[in-house]
Structure 1
Amino acid sequence: MEEKEVNQCQIQEWYPKFKSISIKTHIHELPESFIQYLLDDSGPFLLPVSISNDDALPNRIHNPEEEEDYQVPEGSDDESEQPPPPPSFPELELKVKESIESLGGAVFPKLNWSAPKDSAWISSTGSLRCTTFSEIVLLLRSSDSLIHDLCHAYDSCNNMSSSRPPNFFLALRKWYPSLRPEMEFRCFVRSQCLVGISQREVTTFYPVLLEKKNYLKQLIQQFYEDNVHLKFESRNYTFDVYVTKDERIKVLDFNPWGAFTLPLLFNWEELEQSPREGSNDVELRIVESQCAVRPGLKTAVPYDYLDTRPGSGWDQFLRNADEELQRQTRSFEAGA
């Protein structure tokens, strides 16, 4: 695999060309200071200070009466041990706020290649849904999988010349609460031929896929021929799609062939077999029974979140969970 092939799968590279058949997305270039913040594990994890009270850290951190607990008297022997001021990214935050509003009030984030799916556990909703800058940063900072984008994107390249791209981007994608996971599929393209399609969510058996298997295969094949074939510049790659209720198809993502991309219900050895010229015999694989489901691949809790100090990621998670519980309790009482 070449660096060029990996670079072509960055969302800021492919989205402009496939914008009309993808999910509405706003993309922002990230300052290097923000990248260093995401990588910094030298001290306690604190979310950036917000430019408004809407996204601010817990009030007790900024309560003047309690700030005395964090102050060291002038001339004290401990003066040199004062923690550095919390980070702040006001320009980026303003852009993100504008994008969230423009995209309907809720988004899910990703960097050049990856989304922080492994950190959804820290969200009060258990998902990647974000409505504020702080929620986005919490997901990004708590994700282990994003280290791939930040440090290891080219590890599988045979011509690796750098450990990271020169620029990083934050993609904010419109959040759709009604998306059905059973209608997401990964497509495998080798030598510019569609050679396989796999159910994307392999941890669950969906009976509806058995009923629609042949029809869905034909639908995705035709979509590939009409909208993707020869338009994506690599010869070998994968792409993820979503089939809507009205049978339209949306491109969700592009990924390199092999390396860190999961083959799901296939294996790379069988996908590597050269396709027959002109063959339309593409296999769609689905989980065909409850016994055939696959286990989840990323279930570990990041070690960083053993830190429960005020302002830490775990502290924020507990506050989010408490707020969600109170909201549900109020809704129940109102309904009663």
Structure 2
Amino acid sequence: MKEEDVNRCQIQEWYPKFKSVSIRTFIHELPESFVQYLLDDSGPFLLPASISNEDAFPNRIHNPEEEEDYQVSEGSGDEAEALSAPCFPELELKIKESIETLGGAIFPKLNWSAPKDSAWISTSGTLRCTTFSEIALLLRSSDSLIHDLCHAYDSCSDKTMSRPPKFFLALRKWYPRFQPEMEFRCFVKGQKLVGISQREVTTFYPVLCEKKNKVEVLIEEFFNDNVRVKFESDDYTFDVYVTEDERVKVLDFNPWGAFTLPLLFTWEELEQK
């Protein structure tokens, strides 16, 4: 795998080419100060101060007596400065505008990955976000995003860097009726579609037994008509969603092998196809 193969799978690289057959997404370049905020684990866990007074936990019960225990007394200037929350007003305003344009709810993603491992910490237990504070909470709590931030090129045979020069935050429209059983990962080797796996592998979906052949035809047609010619790598994977009216939407691209999960396959059997 080459660095160029990894770079092509960044959402800011592939989305403009596949915008018409993907879900609505706004992409913002992240300031380096926010990237460093995500990487910083030297101090307490602090969410950014919101210029809109947004709260990542709007339904929590505030107990003034408990909050007094965490207040820094006057005169301890060094401690107060150390505990001051960071603030990213320009980024927050841009994100707020994008969320409103996308219908009020989104799910976030960095260059390659979404913070799926931190969904448990949100009030909904999902990646659904309506504010900048909720996005920051998910990103800051995610261990899997360390891959994007520090290890994206570790498996490259021509590795020259450990991170991309710029990071981006993709805000993807949230669809409340999204059906996990209709999301699939497709494996392409030598520009040929060699495998299709359900994306959610922890659950058995009887409906897939009924729709298997139809879904396979839809995805193969979509690959031949929309993906094979446009995506420049020879070996890669792409994730799609099949809608109720049998339209196929591309959700993501990932490199072949390395950190990409083969799901119901093994990489050994995929290599032999």
TM-score normalised per structure 2: 0.94
2:12–2:111 CA contact under 8 A, matched in 1: yes
Q: Which residue of 2 aligns with 1:110?
A: 109
Task: Specify the code of the residue in structure 1 equivalent to 2:53.
Answer: N
Q: Deviations over 1:17-52 (max 9, x none)?
A: 000000000000000000000000111001011002
Residue 70 of structure 1: how far off its partner (Å): 1.6
Task: Specify the code of the residue in structure 1 equivalent to 2:17.
Answer: K
Equivalent position SS for 2:119: helix
Equivalent position SS for 1:226: helix
Q: Which runs of 4+ in 1 moved over 3 A?
A: 54-62, 65-69, 78-83
Query: How many angstroms apart in 1 are the aligned matches of 2:56 and 2:242?
Result: 38
Q: Which residue of 2 aligns with 1:98?
A: 97
C-alpha spacing 1:131/1:152, structure 2 compared with 1 (3 Å): same
Structure 1 segments unaligned to the other structure (5+ residues) = 276-336
When the two chains are superposed, the root-mean-square deviation of aligned CA atoms in Å is 2.1
Residue 215 of structure 1: how far off its partner (Å): 1.3
Equivalent position SS for 1:98: helix
Equivalent position SS for 2:254: strand
Higher CA-based Rg: 1
Structure 2 segments unaligned to the other structure (5+ residues) = none
Residue 60 of structure 1: how far off its partner (Å): 6.8
Could you tell which deviates more after superposition, 224-233 or 138-147?
224-233
C-alpha spacing 1:270/1:17, structure 2 compared with 1 (3 Å): same
1:49–1:56 CA contact under 8 A, matched in 2: no
Query: How many angstroms apart in 1 are the aligned matches of 2:254 and 2:238?
Result: 6
Q: Which residue of 2 aligns with 1:185?
A: 184
Query: How many angstroms apart in 2 are the aligned matches of 1:42 and 1:54?
Result: 25
Q: Deviations over 1:225-261 (max 9, x none)?
A: 1111121011110000000000000000000000000
Superposed counterparts of 1:4-153, under 5 Å: 4-55=4-55, 69-73=71-75, 78-84=76-82, 85-153=84-152
2:238–2:252 CA contact under 8 A, matched in 1: yes
Task: Specify the code of the residue in structure 2 equivalent to 1:169.
Answer: F
Residue 81 of structure 1: how far off its partner (Å): 3.8
Residue 178 of structure 1: how far off its partner (Å): 0.2
2:72–2:79 CA contact under 8 A, matched in 1: no
Query: How many angstroms apart in 2 are the aligned matches of 1:52 and 1:82?
Result: 22
Task: Specify the code of the residue in structure 1 equivalent to 2:156.
Answer: C
TM-score normalised per structure 1: 0.76
Residue 67 of structure 1: how far off its partner (Å): 10
Q: Which residue of 2 aligns with 1:254?
A: 253
C-alpha spacing 1:49/1:240, structure 2 compared with 1 (3 Å): same
Equivalent position SS for 2:54: helix
Query: How many angstroms apart in 2 are the aligned matches of 1:223 and 1:155?
Result: 31
Equivalent position SS for 2:263: coil
Query: How many angstroms apart in 1 are the aligned matches of 2:125 and 2:217?
Result: 34
1:221 aligns with 2:220: yes
2:54–2:132 CA contact under 8 A, matched in 1: no
Residue 72 of structure 1: how far off its partner (Å): 3.0
Query: How many angstroms apart in 2 are the aligned matches of 1:20 and 1:56?
Result: 32
1:207 aligns with 2:209: no
Query: Taking every aligned residue pair, what percent have the same amino acid on both sides?
Result: 75
Residue 219 of structure 1: how far off its partner (Å): 1.1
